């Protein structure tokens, strides 16, 4: 199991966090996704077949690219 924290500058409110969380949880292998609008970060726990590249690709696709 891998864990990462991603900075996502486009987060502006809790609705953004919920959108990101819902999209990430639909990605096979993502076990948890928690975020904070105040810090513009998302903590993600994942395993195969999810990869950091797949996660970042999904975030870019939904207009929340990670730094």
Question: In the structure encoding, which two tokens stand for residue 45, read together?
Answer: 């726990």
Residue 7, beta-bridge partner list? 41
Supply the mean pLDDT for the chain: 97
Amino acid 2: pLDDT: 97
Please give the share of the chain, as a percent, with pLDDT higher than 90.
99
Interval 43-61 mean pLDDT? 98
Spell out the domain ranges in the chain: 2-61
Domain 2-61 has CATH 1.10.260.40: no
Q: Give the residue from 4, 29, 32 showing the smallest Cα distance to 20.
A: 32
Amino acid 40: pLDDT: 97
The whole-model pTM stands at 0.93
Amino acid 3: pLDDT: 97
What are residue 60's phi and psi, to 5 degrees?
-65, -40
How many CA within 13 A on the CB side of residue 16?
18
């Amino acid at each position: 199991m891998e864990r990462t924290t991603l900075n996502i500058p486009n987060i502006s409110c809790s609705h953004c966090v919920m959108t990101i969380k819902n999209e990430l949880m639909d990605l096979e292998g993502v076990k948890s996704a928690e975020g904070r609008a105040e810090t513009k970060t998302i903590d993600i726990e994942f395993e195969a077949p999810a990869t950091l590249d797949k996660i970042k690709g999904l975030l870019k696709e939904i207009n929340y690219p990670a730094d």
